[in-house]
């Protein structure tokens, strides 16, 4: 097969063989294209226009492997809901690393491409609904300017997968800066070979943090760099009301991208304790817990680095603990900076913290919609109707406007900052579920309409109205599922 623009340069294979298994995707019976992300393909320098739909489907099903690809499944471990488990790509295969015309290195991964040595008894396949869910949410996150893996294509396989019932099988093509995870390092430490761990540290630095290659203590600098990336990422999640749902260490990408869209969801009414995941029975990964869980995951990453952080293990632990303690203040700074932007503040004043917390407290008590409340604040006059016809809100609004008047920049600059920080539309759970239900039953139009509505989420357009309204009581989605 011709390259189609693929420029593969597969450096992961230079790592010790304990970290991966080379194998090809398992062919499927009758692949058919569902969706192809043409804008992303163009960004990547790829051209599929000379291929028929059947040829495209064969490519994205893994039935045909392009020149230069060297498929592999990665080995890793992970703390899942706090419990350590040996894992690995049980239903995914990295086709190879594609270098774009701009020089960006991207993993091309098939998800649902068949059994691997890490399948642990699973069938290695995926169902159409969850693969389309990842496509929709990951592309929405990209449009929301949240660091994320992306989705290039979804194909059906012509085969059924059995979960609770028989469902149409599908394969997603995921694009990511890499698939290096905290769990990759956890697996490397298990090999009890310092050389494997060192090679993984150097590889990660070369791939994601080349600016620290000359650092005196590269391992320490890597820990600090990953910590900052994760603080930035979670602040973005909190900005748009995103709840990951499965923040296990195997789902923490060292690149700082959101990865593995399982039971993820976006919050409607503001509630710090919001949980959607059907498997998160104790609220471990609730909305407000995401920063503390991120710090917990970073602690697990730091533990893996101790053997090479310093020759004295006690001193290494002290160094790591000092770095980890910096997460709280760093995240708080990033979070308040983000929240000030959501309220239109370019400068800092003493009363800002109380303005932020008082608004969130009111929103929680009033069950106000997280996304719409911030967007409604951009109006010239105080928002009208429920829940805004409330003395507490009107008092807060007057304080906020008084604070805005103290800004060095004019009101137009504050509104521009707010409009850039507060989306007009998010992929609301009930709309996503409606679109996926229709697609699973053969009607792709609701999904196409939803994707079109999510393309420019910071632009207020009349056409977005159907996607901006919170769910009616009967439309509320209370649980989301992993879809494995």
Q: Annotated catalytic sites, by residue?
A: 250
Strands (E), 274-412: none
H runs (alpha helix) in 192-249 = 194-208, 218-240
Contacts of 75 (CB under 8 A, 6+ apart): 18, 19, 20, 21, 88, 89, 118, 184, 187
The residues, any chain, with a CB within 8 Å of residue 58's CB and separated by 6 or more, are 31, 64
The beta-strand segments (E) located in 2-119 are: 20-22, 32-36, 72-74, 77-80, 83-86, 92-99, 105-111
Angstrom distance (rounded) from CA 339 to CA 333: 10
Taking the C-alpha atoms of residue 25 and residue 110, their distance in angstroms, rounded to an integer, is 8
Measured between alpha carbons, how far apart are the two ends of the chain, in Å?
A: 31
Q: Where are the alpha helices (DSSP H) in 93-217?
A: 128-143, 182-190, 194-208
Contact 293, 284 (CB under 8 A): yes
Q: What are the backbone angles phi and psi of residue 107, rounded to the nearest 5°?
A: -75, 135
CA distance 230 to 227: 5
Closest CA to 159 of 65, 61, 73: 61
Give the CA distances from residue 169 to residues 23, 299, 437, 446, in Å, rounded to whole numbers and listed in that order.
Answer: 21, 37, 14, 20
Collapsing DSSP to helix, strand or coil, 111 comes out as strand
User: What is the Cα–Cα distance from 234 to 97, expressed in whole angstroms?
Assistant: 27
Residue-level length of the chain: 484
d(CA 353, CA 339): 9
Angle at 374 between CA 332 and CA 282, to 5 degrees: 55
- Cα→Cα distances 7→96, 149, 180, Å: 9, 19, 20
Q: What secondary structure letter does DSSP report for 464?
A: G
**Is-cis flag, bond preceding 247, omega within 30?**
no
């Amino acid at each position: 097969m011709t390259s189609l623009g693929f420029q593969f340069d597969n450096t992961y294979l230079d790592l010790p063989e304990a970290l991966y298994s080379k194998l090809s995707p398992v062919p499927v019976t009758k692949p058919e294209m569902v969706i192809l992300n043409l804008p992303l393909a163009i960004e990547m320098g790829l051209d599929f226009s000379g291929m028929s739909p059947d040829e495209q489907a064969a490519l994205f099903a893994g039935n045909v492997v392009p020149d230069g690809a060297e498929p592999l499944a990665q080995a890793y471990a992970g703390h899942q809901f706090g419990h350590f488990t040996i894992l690995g790509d049980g239903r995914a295969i990295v086709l190879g690393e594609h270098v774009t015309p701009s020089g960006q290195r991207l993993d091309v991964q098939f998800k649902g491409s068949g059994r691997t040595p890490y399948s642990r008894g699973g069938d290695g396949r995926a169902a159409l609904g969850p693969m389309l869910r990842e496509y929709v949410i990951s592309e929405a996150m990209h449009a929301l300017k949240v660091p994320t893996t992306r989705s290039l294509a979804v194909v059906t396989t012509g085969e059924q997968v059995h979960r609770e019932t028989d469902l149409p099988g599908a394969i997603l093509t995921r694009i990511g800066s890499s698939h290096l995870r905290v769990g990759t390092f956890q697996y490397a430490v298990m090999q009890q070979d310092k050389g494997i761990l060192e090679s993984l540290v150097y590889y990660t630095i070369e791939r994601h943090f080349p600016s620290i290659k000359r650092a005196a203590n590269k391992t320490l600098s890597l820990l600090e760099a990953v910590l900052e990336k994760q603080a930035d990422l979670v602040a973005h999640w909190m900005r748009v009301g995103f709840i990951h749902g499965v923040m296990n260490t195997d789902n923490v990408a060292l690149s700082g991208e959101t990865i593995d869209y399982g039971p993820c969801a976006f919050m409607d009414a503001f509630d710090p304790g919001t949980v959607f995941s059907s498997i998160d029975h104790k609220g471990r990964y609730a909305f407000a817990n995401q920063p503390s869980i991120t710090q917990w995951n970073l602690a697990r990453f730091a533990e893996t680095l101790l053997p090479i952080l310093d020759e004295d293990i006690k001193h290494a632990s002290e160094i790591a603990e000092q770095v980890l303690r910096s997460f709280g203040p760093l995240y708080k700074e990033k979070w308040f900076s983000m929240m000030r932007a959501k309220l239109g503040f370019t400068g800092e004043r003493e009363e800002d913290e109380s303005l932020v917390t008082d608004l969130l407290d009111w929103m929680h008590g009033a069950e106000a919609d997280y996304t719409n409340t911030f967007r409604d604040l951009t109006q010239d006059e105080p928002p009208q109707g429920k829940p805004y016809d409330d003395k507490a809100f009107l008092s807060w609004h007057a304080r906020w406007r008084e604070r805005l008047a103290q800004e060095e920049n004019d009101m137009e600059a504050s509104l521009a900052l707010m409009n850039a920080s507060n989306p007009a539309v998010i992929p609301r759970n009930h709309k996503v579920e409606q679109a996926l239900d229709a697609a699973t039953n053969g009607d792709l139009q609701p999904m196409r309409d939803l994707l079109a509505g999510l393309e420019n989420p910071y632009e207020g357009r009349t056409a977005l109205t159907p996607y901006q309204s919170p769910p009616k009581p009967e439309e509320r989605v209370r649980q989301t599922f992993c879809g494995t």
